[in-house]
Amino acid sequence: MVVDTPAWQHLKRHASDLRGQHLRDLFAADPNRFQRLTVRWKQSNDWLLDLSKQRITAETLPLLAELWQTADVPGWIAKMRAGAPINHTEGRAVLHIALRENPPRAEVAAVLDKMRGFCDAIHSGHWRGATGEPIRDIVNIGIGGSDLGPRMATQALAAQHVPHLRVHYVANLDGADLATTLAGLAPRTTLFIIASKTFTTQETMQNAASARAWLTAALGEAAVSRHFVAISTALDKVAAFGIDPANAFAFWDWVGGRFSLWSAIGLPLALAIGFDKFSAMLAGAAAMDEHFFSAPPQENLPALLAFIDLWNSDFLGLQTRALLPYSQSLGLLPRYLQQLEMESLGKQVGRDGKSVGCPTQPILWGEPGTNGQHAFYQLLHQGGRALSCEFIACRAADFPLAGHHEKLLANCFAQSAALMQGKTAAEALAELTAAVPPDPGFLAPYKVFPGNQPSTTLLLPKLDPHTLGALIALYEHKVFTLGALWNLNAFDQWGVEYGKQIANALLPMIEGKAPVADVDSSTAGLIAACKS
């Protein structure tokens, strides 16, 4: 187990030496701390990763780099790039990186060319609906990796959208999701994308069937072929649904769902921003790939983010991380990364079939700033819970309204500074005394901030397709690194499958088609309460 290695034990001793040290004191002791613990991406000098507000010293990163070598992360990278079946429980390669290679391999190039042709047909008005009108609304129906990635990126790149075309997303099995989306649409100008590799995913196929009924009620059965396309490999099921298999876009079993944005799963995004900008996003991801493959661990952005998560979780005991993008356009990034990170790394059994022996993925949550400041930041500052924060900001605004962006940046930097330094009782009393309130001594305890809450700040250039592609790839490689460090398979998700298995067994009981049997008393009681 990794916890038994000398590298792990070195980190344990180092963490013990750091206990009791406050971030404020670490800054006071080292005037050059920011310069020492800030990394710039050499291929793109506009990227800056500030680790100086993390509870680390100059010794911490070399010790974590020692663990990188112990876990043979370079060896695992080589296996991934060679197409080895590193998803060992499913016997699959992990090759999402091949989706953004330049030049692409033949099968990837064929799908990209087909996506480009389809985007051009929609944007030019060459593809028309059953009544001869151009398409004005695209509805992507998928769930999980077939929804979260393109949905997040479509919002993130709102400033880049093609005019006169709206892209919507439906995922939840709750009928409210589909019904409220369809309420504002016209069947004759709406196109549906059904994203399901097997064309059997319960949530997706139920929503697809309801969307089909909505369309055919208005336009008839013959309209399906002009208003539905599929992203799937199950061409027989696609045809049975009424979609011409020629309008199905393929992807492969070596692409995991939560890593599939770069494949045909990205079609709704490509429609939203245009295929040239989608290609720019692929190029940004490829640039980050090259950085991850070549940079030494202490200069490697994905490795550094992985190191900080592991350090905070396993050595400082911080079991939650707040992701705080100071960008409304990145508002869905926390939700996207919840799947990417927690579904990949929320595991306790290692590649050897035994317990990894330590906590793994911290709980991830977040909200864009400045909204979160008026919701949960009170707990961050004075709630008495130690946690880590990750701030993301852009130097330039994607929607440059006068007077907005400078204030946004000021709030972002102020929050990380306040979380780090806090405010002592003496400082609070002096501040109140200077302001001459009625009773400074009474209010002073309420104005104390413990500080010492660690945070990372990632400063990006303007949010555009290239930057977003690199950002997403950054987190993909961070997940890969943590999987190697913890000796986990980051590419399966058996916990998800177990819940589906139970749901399939319960469905006929809830529908009244089978007796309620072989379930616990709580589940039986809940089913009975619904049926009554």
CA–CA dist 496, 492 (Å, integer) = 9
- The runs of H, that is alpha helices, within 463-520 are 465-486, 494-511
Chain mean position to CA 32: 33
Is residue 299 annotated as a catalytic residue, yes or no? Answer: no
Q: Which of 529, 501, 497 is nearest to 516 (CA)?
A: 529
CA–CA dist 79, 119 (Å, integer) = 35
Count other C-beta atoms under 10 Å from residue 208's C-beta: 25
Is residue 126 annotated as a catalytic residue, yes or no? Answer: no
Query: Which is the catalytic residue, given 126, 374, 407, 531?
Result: 374
What is the total residue count of the chain? 532
Please state whether beta strands 190-195 and 166-170 pair in parallel, antiparallel, or not at all (unpaired). unpaired
Compute the Cα dihedral for 184, 189, 194, 200 and give only its sign. positive
CA–CA dist 195, 255 (Å, integer) = 14
CA–CA dist 71, 246 (Å, integer) = 46
φ, ψ for residue 366, nearest 5 deg: 165, 175
Q: Which of 257, 364, 350 is nearest to 305 (CA)?
A: 364
Is residue 406 annotated as a catalytic residue, yes or no? Answer: no
Q: Which two tokens stand for residue 37?
A: 């613990």
In our burial notation (b when 16+ CB lie closer than 10 A, e otherwise), range 89-104 reads eeebbbbbbbbbeeeb
Under 8 Å between Cβ of 181 and 208? no
Q: Give the position of tokens 């699959």.
A: 92
Under 8 Å between Cβ of 122 and 135? yes
What is the three-class DSSP state of 497? helix
Query: Which is the catalytic residue, given 341, 343, 367, 476?
Result: 343
Three-state secondary structure along 60-82?
HHHHHHHHHHHCCHHHHHHHHHH
Query: Which is the catalytic residue, given 12, 88, 354, 500?
Result: 500
Count other C-beta atoms under 10 Å from residue 34's C-beta: 13
Element (H, E) at 434: helix 425-435
Bridge partner residues of 513 (DSSP): none
Chain mean position to CA 415: 23
Q: Which of 51, 492, 491, 72 is nearest to 311 (CA)?
A: 51
Active-site residues, by number, are 343, 374, 500
